[in-house]
Structure 1
Amino acid sequence: MKKSEALKSIVVEANQGELIFPTNVNASLKIQQLLDDPNCSLEDAAKLTLTEPLLASRVVAIANSVAYSRFGGGVTNVRTAVTILGFSTLRSIVASVVVRQLSCAISDPVLRQKAHQLWEHSAHVAALAHLLARKVSNTDPETAMFAGIVHEVSGFYLLSRADQLPALMEPNTSEDTDNEGEFSEPDEVVIGRAVLKKLMLPKRIITAVEALWSGVRVMPPETLGDTLVLANDLASVPSPLDIRSEATIRHAASEIDFLVGDGTIHHILEESDKEVKALTISLMT
């Protein structure tokens, strides 16, 4: 089977609403759905969080991270952590758990390594997006972090399916490009949109991820999509699914700089390096 054929088979599943997720992912999706219920209280949210140990530990770790140190740190229980973080951030953390669960479903060691690097990349993009939203684009930092966490979720999904369809990880060929047609969307975009819909993500998040797919960079960033694109470009850990070489990616990132108030974007990144690293680690562990 060629890569184009493997992608088409998943596109058919996506169009029929039959994307295949591991059982533990479905459980986390149920938590996400319950959190979206307007009648869900903070107490209910804390109880839901406790049903998933990985989610509970992640919530407490992030509440104690440098990014939230203004609340005093020293959080030792889920209820306090949920109160500090709020529903928006809690939904982001649930999404991060879903992404990690997709990774755990991969058995092939090479694919697992790709998934590990992809998660490291996603966590760094999320932390950068949180920072850039606060200090550059003046968009909601929690929403920006959420967008960063899920921006590669379709890549995780393809990696999780590559055990059964190894052709998915083959490099693109001219034949694959030709088969897309002049006016049709790439299969990866169709699949990506279906995965985002399956995760029940808000329209604003989907629009931001679609801005990343378009590849248009706006500097300084103004919208959530612009913020996500810039965070992705600046991430020190590249996506293993990026078709560019690591050297090309790093060179492109090193050339990005612009004025922000009295300083530059590089000055902001250097000044906030500790904060970004701490939030990245909290998301990853």
Structure 2
Amino acid sequence: MNKLEAYGHIAAMAIRGELVFPTSVNAALRVQLALDDPECPIDKAISLVLAEPQLAARTVAISNSAMFNRAGAPVITNVRGAIMRIGYQNLFALAAAMVVRSFGSKITDPDLRAKAEKLWDHTIAVAALARIIARRVTGVNPDTALFASIVHEVSGFYLLSRAEEFPGLLEEDPENWHSASEEIITREVLRKLCIPEPVSEAIESLRDGFLSIPPETLFDTLLLANLLTPVKSPLQEPERDLPPHSESAIELFIDNEKLESMLAEAKIHAIEMNAALLV
């Protein structure tokens, strides 16, 4: 089975609603769906988090990271305090991170596992940078930017999780014949994971969307983070490194000094976020 056939087969399964997810994904999804309700009582949120020990540990850890802990603030030592500090939206993003990581947890092939780890490093780098870009450049909600970045490569993780079953998925495709199938798979994975429509639309637009000048949308935020991060996706095709926008256009609103400052801050946050998420 070549790449085109493999993508076509999985796309057909996606259209029929037959996407195969690890059982660990379903557990994280239950937490995520409950937290999607802004009226979810704090005690219920605490019980949901405590029912997933990994999520509980990660919630407390990330609440004490530089992203959420202002200098001089007390160290958080319990789930209630952690949730109060980071808020539901970021807790929702942590549950999503568990979903994303779960796709790579069952991969046994060393090469595929290495790709999954590199894709995770890219995801975290983009997430840290997107949150800063949202705050300092585009003006979108930084928490939304963080969540969108955490899930923006979820279809890539899904495909890696199926690559042992369909080896043709990793073949080179210089003519990009699989593009339509990839779009279908991405859309259906996001739909099954109940990703909010504004976030899904921004992620789906990353393939061929154009940066606004000045950048001011969630899509612009994700695109800039992907373009500017030094940690590239192992699944990214060379021709997609840069869209038809010159670097000089980006320099109109992000000069070298500002870029270096954002990259340095993002690097620190990515290290702390990765450590917290891998607790």
Q: Distance in 2 between matches of 1:51 and 1:158?
A: 29
In the other structure, the counterpart of 2:207 is 213
Point out where structure 1 has 5 or more consecutive residues left out of the alignment: none
CA gap 1:142/1:156 in 2 versus in 1, 3 angstroms = same
In the other structure, the counterpart of 2:197 is 203
State the number of aligned residues: 272
Identity over aligned pairs, percent: 44
Give CA deviations for 1:32-66 in whole Å, capped at 9, x if unaligned.
Answer: 11212454212211221122222122212221111
Asked if 2 retains the 8 angstrom alpha-carbon contact of 1:118 and 1:239, the reply is yes
Q: 1:258 aligns with which of 251, 255, 265?
A: 251
Q: Determine whether 1:187 maps to 2:181.
A: yes
Whose relative contact order is higher, 1 or 2, with alpha carbons under 8 Å and at least 6 apart? 2
How do 1:95-106 residues align onto structure 2 when only pairs under 5 Å count? 95-106=96-107
Give CA deviations for 1:125-172 in whole Å, capped at 9, x if unaligned.
Answer: 011110000011111000001111111000000000001111111111
Q: Distance in 2 between matches of 1:14 and 1:69?
A: 41
In the other structure, the counterpart of 2:7 is 7
CA gap 1:90/1:49 in 2 versus in 1, 3 angstroms = same
CA gap 1:239/1:256 in 2 versus in 1, 3 angstroms = farther
Post-superposition offset of 1:22: 0.6
Give CA deviations for 1:196-229 in whole Å, capped at 9, x if unaligned.
Answer: 1111111111011022122422343110111110
Asked if 1 retains the 8 angstrom alpha-carbon contact of 2:89 and 2:144, the reply is yes
Asked if 1 retains the 8 angstrom alpha-carbon contact of 2:96 and 2:151, the reply is yes
Asked if 1 retains the 8 angstrom alpha-carbon contact of 2:63 and 2:85, the reply is yes
Q: 1:270 aligns with which of 260, 267, 277?
A: 260
Post-superposition offset of 1:274: 4.6
How do 1:61-210 residues align onto structure 2 when only pairs under 5 Å count? 61-70=61-70, 72=73, 74-174=75-175, 177=177, 186-210=180-204
Q: Determine whether 1:230 maps to 2:224.
A: yes
In the other structure, the counterpart of 1:47 is 47
Q: Distance in 2 between matches of 1:233 and 1:141?
A: 18
Give CA deviations for 1:100-121 in whole Å, capped at 9, x if unaligned.
Answer: 1111121111000000000000
Asked if 2 retains the 8 angstrom alpha-carbon contact of 1:118 and 1:240, the reply is yes
Asked if 2 retains the 8 angstrom alpha-carbon contact of 1:13 and 1:19, the reply is yes
Asked if 2 retains the 8 angstrom alpha-carbon contact of 1:25 and 1:102, the reply is yes
Q: Distance in 1 between matches of 2:188 and 2:59?
A: 27
What's the C-alpha RMSD, in Å, of the aligned pairs? Answer: 2.2
CA gap 1:94/1:271 in 2 versus in 1, 3 angstroms = same
SS in 2 for 1:68: coil
Asked if 1 retains the 8 angstrom alpha-carbon contact of 2:229 and 2:263, the reply is no
